[in-house]
Amino acid sequence: MNVVFWICAPLMVLGGLGLILFRKAVYSALSMALTMVCLAVLYASLDAPFLFAIQIIVYTGAVLMLFLFVLMMVGVDTPDSIIETIKGQRLLSALGALGLLALMIFSVGGAITAPSAGMAGATTGAGGNVQGIAQALFGRYVWVFELTSALLITAAVGAMIMAHAQRTKPKLGQREQAQARMKAYADSGSHPGSLPNSGVFATSNSIATPALLPDGTISEHSISKTLTERGAQLDSTQLREITAEAFAKAQRVPDEEDEEL
Amino acid sequence: MIDQYLYLAVILFVIGAIGVMIRRNALVAFMSVELMLNAANLALVAFAWHHASFDGQVASFFVMVVAAAEVVVGLAIIVSIYKTRRSTSVDNANLLSQ
């Protein structure tokens, strides 16, 4: 138990320091995962196998992965500013933390003098760790247990409401879209049929390659407007030149052979 | 014997508190809050071991449930702030002070 503690405790402190010191949020999340896993090991060493499993499943598995999901969603690259917005905030928070540490160390330090009882007696009395927790959970704390279910439901509904976005315009169905297209045809004469597909060249058939019209100009409708706005559009005329050069060479080769003969 | 666990819990709690105070990224500040909750959990489990009773372990279990609910709502708030303000920095959520 002592050995486990002295292996895990430094790792946990390192993980905690990594959490607050890494500039990149993903590294912080991974240091947090290290701390969580080591904490689970400490639970196991304190004769709490049920909490060991719950810690890994709920914290490392669910909560931290949720953090990573959100991190990926809101942009991993968002830099954390180093500028102090409140003057002297670092110094004050360092002082506050030092005070908190001193207060808790001194209050905890000499408080416990009695030797620890250890979980062994309680576990054998209840017939196992999970049985003991179940007796407490569904006996003495059953009302609290019921309340947590209400809490979880409220949290789930709250998250759904928070993530829900009201539509500003009603969604267009197939009928409305067809009508709009025919109306545009009647008003401005734009083609109501499907748009031309992207260009297919010898070296590229990507959707970012615009198709060429018979006169050699680029057809703007053949690639998505989003790609054009992002600047992902490839240069079709350049792609065509490669093929044109290859054709020119292919035509020249038989001529040279003829001369040799 | 239980002392070392309590000292570790105190150190982790203070590290979490520092994280909440100095980090500007809302997600990292939130993770620091999780670290503080975990430190409290460690103290609860250590005391359960000290007193040979399951109450501490059950309390730690309830803390985990509350933390899970808190993470769900908190991350939803961060995502909806990010949707409107394109930032997760706690400094940028200053609409009420302007």
- Interatomic CA distance for residues A193 and A11, integer angstroms: 64
Residue B83 pLDDT: 82
- Interatomic CA distance for residues B30 and A30, integer angstroms: 14
Select from B30, B54, B89 the Cβ nearest to the Cβ of A136.
B54
Residue A156 included in any domain: no
Q: What is the mean pLDDT of residues A198-223?
A: 85
Tell me if A151 and B69 make a contact (CB, 8 A cut-off).
yes
Q: Which residues are registered as beta bridge partners of A25?
A: none
Lowest mean pLDDT among A114-118, A166-170, A255-259, B18-22: A255-259
Give the residue extent of every domain in chain B: 2-87
Residue A64 included in any domain: yes
Select from A66, A90, A116 the Cβ nearest to the Cβ of B1.
A116
Q: Which residues are registered as beta bridge partners of B89?
A: B25
**Domain stop point among A12, A42, A76:** A76
Query: Domain tally for chain A?
Result: 2
- Interatomic CA distance for residues A237 and A44, integer angstroms: 67
The CA distance from B71 to the nearest CA of chain A, in Å, is 7
**Cβ contacts (< 8 Å) between B84 and chain A: which residues?**
none
Residue B91 pLDDT: 75
Residue A208 pLDDT: 86
Tell me if A97 and B76 make a contact (CB, 8 A cut-off).
no
Q: How many CA atoms lie within 13 A of A93 on its CB side?
A: 16
Residue A107 included in any domain: no
Among the listed residues B12, B42, B28, B20, the one whose alpha carbon sits nearest the alpha carbon of residue A30 = B28
A1, A11, A20, best to mutate vs chain B, most B CBs in 10 Å:
A20
For residue A240, what are the domain limits? Answer: 194-260
With tokens 């390659």, the residue in question is A209
Q: Note the pLDDT tens digit of each residue in A35-68.
A: 999 999 999 999 899 999 999 998 888 899 999 9
**Cβ contacts (< 8 Å) between A93 and chain B: which residues?**
18, 21-22
**Domain stop point among A29, A47, A76:** A76
Look at residue A260 and tell me whether its pLDDT is greater than 60: no
CATH number at residue A61: 1.20.120.1200
**Cβ contacts (< 8 Å) between B23 and chain A: which residues?**
20, 80
A58 touches chain B (CB under 8 A): yes
Residue A79 pLDDT: 61
CA dihedral A34, B68, B36, A10 (to 10 degrees): -20
- The helix/strand/coil state of A212 is strand
- The helix/strand/coil state of A217 is coil
Greatest mean pLDDT among A80-94, A167-181, B32-46 lies in: B32-46
Residue A248 included in any domain: yes
Select from A19, A141, A151 the Cβ nearest to the Cβ of B58.
A141
A13 touches chain B (CB under 8 A): yes
Answer with the residue of higher pLDDT: B77 or A255. B77
A260 touches chain B (CB under 8 A): no
Q: What is the mean pLDDT of residues A152-171?
A: 87
Q: Note the pLDDT tens digit of each residue in A72-110.
A: 888 666 666 666 677 788 889 999 999 999 998 888 877
- Interatomic CA distance for residues A225 and A161, integer angstroms: 32
Instruction: Please check whether residue A59 is in contact with residue B38, taking contact to mean a CB–CB distance below 8 angstroms.
Output: yes
Answer with the residue of higher pLDDT: A96 or B97. A96
Select from A19, A43, A46 the Cβ nearest to the Cβ of B19.
A19
Tell me if B79 and A90 make a contact (CB, 8 A cut-off).
no
* Tokens (6 digits) for A249: 């060479």
Tell me if B80 and A159 make a contact (CB, 8 A cut-off).
no
CATH architecture of B2-87: Orthogonal Bundle (1.10)
Q: What percent of chain A has pLDDT over 70?
A: 92
Residue A43 pLDDT: 93
- Interatomic CA distance for residues B81 and B56, integer angstroms: 37
**Domain stop point among A36, A55, A76:** A76
